[in-house]
Chain A
Amino acid sequence: MKFRALMQDPQYMREFQAIVATLAKLAKDCVMILGPRQMHFIVNEDQSSTASPLVWASIAAEEYFPEYRMEAALPEHEFIVLSMSSASLGRALSVLRNVGTNNCKFKLQRIQFPCISVIATVLLSSSTEAREVVHDVPVSIIPASDWPAYVVPKVPNSQLVLSLPTLRLLRSLIDKLKNVSPSLEFQVNIDGELNVIATSEMSTVTSRFQKLLLRSLEASQQEASCCVDSRKASAFFGSLQVSNDELTIGIDRDHSIHMQIDVRQDVVLHSILPAVCV
């Protein structure tokens, strides 16, 4: 079992750091699935946490890593699956935010226990010599027999998918609306309108976002709606650390809402908010 990867572009390093920081805000532990050409992170894959939604990130290795080598334990295996503390990984990567970070290597190795070593080369303005900052993040290796429990989630089939050019207003609204009602109804329609409705005993608050871009729709669907837990929705929006502002919302009627943020073409952050009964 071998894994090593290298990052060099400062912009990519910052993005990668932001993705991991987002996950670290959502859950204590995360699962890292290393495939031959893709790296995935999943948090709350068992949906046991009531306040946090299922979030995962899929990263095309060739986008971020000029060097990416993965050898699974057995030749017939396609993946290496690891579980680790998301906060530790987040802390290890925080050095990538610094301007002086030249490159960063990831290495799976055994030092008493298995860990992912994050080795960053940092240039300081005060000296000409580069320094190496090393963090060893302990991981547990998940045996192949347990993999069925750690599959990368599938994007649900949505009847209607809209994209919101800027999520700033939506984000602060949802933060406020969670105090109004424990559940939020999302309605989208073919005219490119998104309504977020919070109903409480004393008031009904309807927020309307118009002129949104229709990304896809199933034939003959005029509208779709779904009620979700407002704490989960707020936790997702509150956790976002990536600088991208465009959000794609797909609604699978009365079943789930799928949120997607395209950090890059093949670097995507997903979340699924399951429907709740009102």
Chain B
Amino acid sequence: MGDVEASTYGDYKFVARVDHIKTLNQAIKSICFNDYGMLQVSEDGLRITVEQGKSIQATLFMPPGAFMEFYVQDFLSFGLKMNVLSECLNLFGSADCSLRMMYRDQGDPLRIILYPYDNEDVSTECAIKTMDCEEPIDYDKNLKDPDLNVIFVRGPNLSKVFHELEKSAEEFEFVTSPDRPHFKITTVGIMQAVFSVEVAKTSPMMMMFNCKQTVVARYKSQQIRVTNKAMQSATKVAIKTNAIGLLELHLVMQGEGHEEIFVQFFIIPLLQTD
């Protein structure tokens, strides 16, 4: 088995294929809020992480099942420019393409080959330079406690809620609580103008509601807004917070073949000054 694999993939340590790039493209665009991204591949799948300062982190995760073909040797990690990656995936505009990703070893470029469906005699190969990278911050371990507040909501509904919230607000306050109002988002504007939306746990947009404590935390609206693009294409969103208000938004995007791509945001709350 090992020999067969070695011969098909040559000296490539990572080869993956996606049949339709639309969802992947959307997912990558939704995390392009910073130029530098970290890509990690292991047998568990592919992760692309983008951070901004130490206050927000986004990770795109594709399990091997989301690929038509997935081959990896060892654990690989490298850095790359997100806008370059996104630019490459957009070369054919809205024309549907299949994609092949290949990576040899440290210092080598990540090769992405696009094959548009409407013309089989055309292909584009992008060789994206890679860089050494550090480990992304592991927020996940802080959200392993059993006493988390967890809410699952339907993506399109949540996206609509965020859309209705005030655009010029400076801060967002999230309340998750076992008691009323269950789930409440408040925006605080420049003149301390307040606008809020409450979602009861009985609302049809709720898919699951499991809150054990009342958590009130504020976030910079800029950081919440970074998640907008992802929210627009998400089918399901999990909202998790721990006691100090570390917020995780876990979004599920569904591809054409019903394969799932996950985008995870971790947002650090603002210090409570009052």
B90, B95, B122: the one contacting A207 at CB < 8 Å is B122
- Are A173 and B91 closer than 8 Å at their CB atoms? yes
- Are A180 and B92 closer than 8 Å at their CB atoms? no
A169, A206, A212: the one contacting B95 at CB < 8 Å is A169
Which residue, A166, A204, A205, A210, has most C-beta atoms of chain B within 10 A?
A: A205
**C-alpha spacing A209/B120, complex, angstroms:** 9
> Interface extent on B, as a size class?
20 to 34
| Chain B neighbourhood of A200, CB < 8 A | 84
Q: Does B257 contact A (CB under 8 A)?
A: no
Which residue, B80, B90, B91, B128, has most C-beta atoms of chain A within 10 A?
A: B91
- Are A203 and B127 closer than 8 Å at their CB atoms? yes
A169, A177, A179, A201: the one contacting B122 at CB < 8 Å is A169
Q: Does A202 contact B (CB under 8 A)?
A: yes
Which residue, B81, B116, B121, has most C-beta atoms of chain A within 10 A?
A: B121
Q: Does A208 contact B (CB under 8 A)?
A: yes
Q: Does B52 contact A (CB under 8 A)?
A: no
Task: Look across to chain B and name the residue whose beta carbon is closest to the beta carbon of A196.
Answer: B124
| Chain A neighbourhood of B29, CB < 8 A | none
Q: Does B108 contact A (CB under 8 A)?
A: no
| Chain B neighbourhood of A179, CB < 8 A | 87
| Chain A neighbourhood of B80, CB < 8 A | 202
- Are B121 and A211 closer than 8 Å at their CB atoms? yes
**C-alpha spacing A234/B62, complex, angstroms:** 35
Q: Does A222 contact B (CB under 8 A)?
A: no
Q: Does B204 contact A (CB under 8 A)?
A: no
- Are A204 and B92 closer than 8 Å at their CB atoms? no
Residues from 77 to 92 in B contacting A, C-beta threshold 8 Å: 80-81, 84, 87-88, 90-92
| Chain B neighbourhood of A206, CB < 8 A | 124-127
- Are A207 and B116 closer than 8 Å at their CB atoms? no
Q: Does A172 contact B (CB under 8 A)?
A: yes
Secondary structure dominating the interface of A? mixed
Would you give the 0/1 interface string for B128-143, flagging 1 where the beta carbon is closer than 8 Å to chain A? 1100000000000000
**C-alpha spacing A81/B178, complex, angstroms:** 84
Beyond A209-B121, A210-B122, whether A176 also contacts B84 by CB under 8 A is no
A169, A172, A203, A210: the one contacting B88 at CB < 8 Å is A203
- Are A177 and B91 closer than 8 Å at their CB atoms? yes
- Are B122 and A204 closer than 8 Å at their CB atoms? no
Beyond A176-B90, A177-B91, A180-B87, whether A169 also contacts B119 by CB under 8 A is yes
| Chain A neighbourhood of B81, CB < 8 A | 202
| Chain A neighbourhood of B95, CB < 8 A | 169, 172
Would you give the 0/1 interface string for A16-37, flagging 1 where the beta carbon is closer than 8 Å to chain B? 0000000000000000000000
- Are A203 and B126 closer than 8 Å at their CB atoms? yes
**C-alpha spacing A111/B121, complex, angstroms:** 55
A227 to B: closest C-beta gap in Å: 18
Question: 9 A-B pairs, CB-CB below 8 angstroms?
Answer: A169-B118, A169-B122, A202-B128, A203-B109, A203-B128, A205-B91, A205-B124, A207-B91, A208-B125
Taking A202-B84, A203-B128, A205-B124 as known contacts, 15 extra A-B pairs with beta carbons closer than 8 A to each other, sorted by chain A number, are A169-B118, A173-B91, A173-B124, A202-B81, A202-B129, A203-B84, A204-B127, A205-B126, A205-B127, A206-B125, A206-B126, A207-B123, A207-B124, A210-B121, A210-B123
- Shortest 6 CB-CB contacts between residues of A and residues of B: A207-B124, A210-B121, A204-B127, A211-B121, A202-B84, A203-B128
